[in-house]
Amino acid sequence: MKQKGLLEGKVSRVYIRYLIPTIIALASQSLYCLADVYFIARGSGSVGLAALNIAMPIFTFYSAFGLLMGIGGATTISILEGQNKLRQKHAAFTLALLFTIVVTLLMTIVGLLFMEEIALFLGATAELLPYVVDYMTPIHLLSVFAVLSYALQVLIRGDHAPNLVMAAMLISNFTNIVLDYVFVVLLDGAMQGAAIATGIAPIIAVFLLSTHFFKKDCSLRFTKHGFSFSLLGRIFANGMASALMEISVSVVVVVMNYVILRVGDALYLAAYAIITNIAYVAKGIINGFAQAAQPLFSTNFGAGHYKRVRHSFYVAFGITCMSGIGAYLMMAVFPNAVVSLFASGDHSLSEIAARGVRLYFLCLPFLCANTVMMYYFQSIELAYRSMGLSLLRGFVLVLLYLALLSTAYQMNGVWLSVSAAEGTSFLLGGGMVITYMRKERKERLDVTDLGHGIVK
């Protein structure tokens, strides 16, 4: 799929062509997280699940940086491609990739040197600390491959190769699940075995994704020229909203861990670990709906096809929200179907987690809408709007509602806090989108108004 398809093909058809492989890739990536939960629950029980929940923010921090550079780089590259600024496009690609490697190596060193201190800060108890350290040691050591995998997925998908990304992620994630079984079940590796499997899988992904650079239809080139702090700042600004949302997951998990232990006990924390990982899968798939629209948004924006950008938004928004509503209805009717996979036969844990699923995932329709709106602003370089929406829904509102609702309604309030934050953000974000589109229609002249192309 070349640039011409993004600029001239039927919007719904182009979106679906990107959407299907993107959803499959991100769903498989999210599902290996569930495999980790399953095997850790099997090998270490509820203590292992609680330790995993403590460690999850560290892993999320790595993925946030990968998304920052991947989405920021892909957005900048797509806009420059639409503007036919190829020299700057190659510079943006090279800069994004090099910066990803260098900063991740520095993060790895810090993580290894201060592993116990970070784990204690995140809420690890004396009982949980050895489990957290066992899990995070392989993750830190192999983190550069994980971060590169996150970044390359987005960069290569934006270079019109969504099917390669899908294939690479399917192979990598299937390998992760197989290795989970080998290291945890056959070799009795418990937490560390699951972490080794998680660390090895991205190596395979990076190798497969790198084959794109040797293909004739690859339009990304490494270059020694065109680097600047302004270009790096542009990449950061274009990817920051996604990184903030990913980091907010870590912050919310840490705060919720403390709140749950205040209003509940370790069993509720284990239930939250199950819900967190189901949410990780759901959010990964929802991000796939939004990421599939990014090349359409950015390339057409760069080319001046503003009507086509708006049409792409309507298509992505509608499909994503309808999917979110359907997903919630399934979870509300069959919560035990998912929860029972990770509760290891613990009836009390299953009951608590099933109730949590019904309340927590009321957020899904709003989460779908907010994610597409955030990616829309991000993809057309409206960084302040995308970052503002991310900060509101990911930090300010969710922490505010968590404090208020947990005090008033105890655990029910904890489960509902995310839904309240996403619902409020939907109202605010929707107002931002409507206001911007009205202003854009008045101020921007679309190339189609000059007779250069049509909106399909």
Q: Which residues contact 357 (CB under 8 A, 6 or more apart)?
A: 275, 278, 331, 335, 338, 339
Left (φ > 0), alpha (ψ -120 to 50) or beta: where does 96 sit?
alpha
Encode pLDDT of 244-255 as tens digits.
Answer: 888 887 788 778
- From start to end of 336-376, where are the E strands? none
Q: How far apart are CA 86 and CA 221, in angstroms?
A: 9
Residue 454 has pLDDT above 50, yes or no: no
Mean pLDDT of the chain, nearest integer: 87
Q: Which residue in 63, 54, 28 sits closest to 177, CA to CA?
A: 28
pLDDT at res. 13: 93
Q: Where are the domains of the chain?
A: 3-450
What radius of gyration, in Å, describes the C-alpha atoms of the chain?
21
H helices of 380-396, where?
Answer: 383-391
What global pTM score does this model have?
0.85
Q: Which residues contact 153 (CB under 8 A, 6 or more apart)?
A: 25, 70, 165, 168, 169, 205, 209
**Is 248:390 a contact under the CB 8 Å cutoff?**
yes
227 SS3 class: coil
138-157: average pLDDT: 92
147-165: average pLDDT: 91
- From start to end of 268-425, where are the E strands? none
Instruction: Dig out the tokens for 420 from the structure.
Output: 């309240």
Q: How far apart are CA 286 and CA 249, in angstroms?
A: 15
Compute CA distances 261 → 176, 250, 264, 356, whole Å: 32, 17, 5, 15
Q: How far apart are CA 293 and CA 158, in angstroms?
A: 10
Angle at the Cα of 424 from the Cα atoms of 390 and 291, rounded to 5 degrees: 40
305 SS3 class: coil
**Run of H or E residues at 97:** helix 86-113
How buried is 241 (Cβ within 10 angstroms: 0-12 exposed, 13-18 middle, 19+ buried)? buried
Q: How far apart are CA 388 and CA 56, in angstroms?
A: 25
**Is 146:202 a contact under the CB 8 Å cutoff?**
yes
Instruction: Dig out the tokens for 81 from the structure.
Output: 């491609």
Encode pLDDT of 23-78 as tens digits.
Answer: 988 888 777 777 777 788 777 777 787 788 788 778 888 989 999 999 999 999 99
Which of the residue ranges 32-36, 76-80, 200-204, 334-338 would you say has the lowest mean pLDDT?
A: 32-36
Residue 135 CB coordination number (10 Å): 29
Residue 445 has pLDDT above 70, yes or no: no
pLDDT at res. 58: 84
- Measured in residues, the chain has a length of 456
Compute CA distances 120 → 61, 115, 126, 136, 409, whole Å: 16, 9, 9, 13, 28
Q: Which residues contact 354 (CB under 8 A, 6 or more apart)?
A: 335, 336, 339
223 SS3 class: coil
411-424: average pLDDT: 94
**Is 68:147 a contact under the CB 8 Å cutoff?**
no
Compute CA distances 73 → 77, 227, 305, whole Å: 6, 13, 21
Instruction: Dig out the tokens for 343 from the structure.
Output: 């509760």
> What distance, in Å, lies between the first and last C-alpha atoms of the chain?
17
Single-letter residue type at 386: S
How buried is 99 (Cβ within 10 angstroms: 0-12 exposed, 13-18 middle, 19+ buried)? buried
Encode pLDDT of 361-415 as tens digits.
Answer: 999 999 999 999 999 999 999 989 999 999 999 889 999 999 999 999 989 999 9
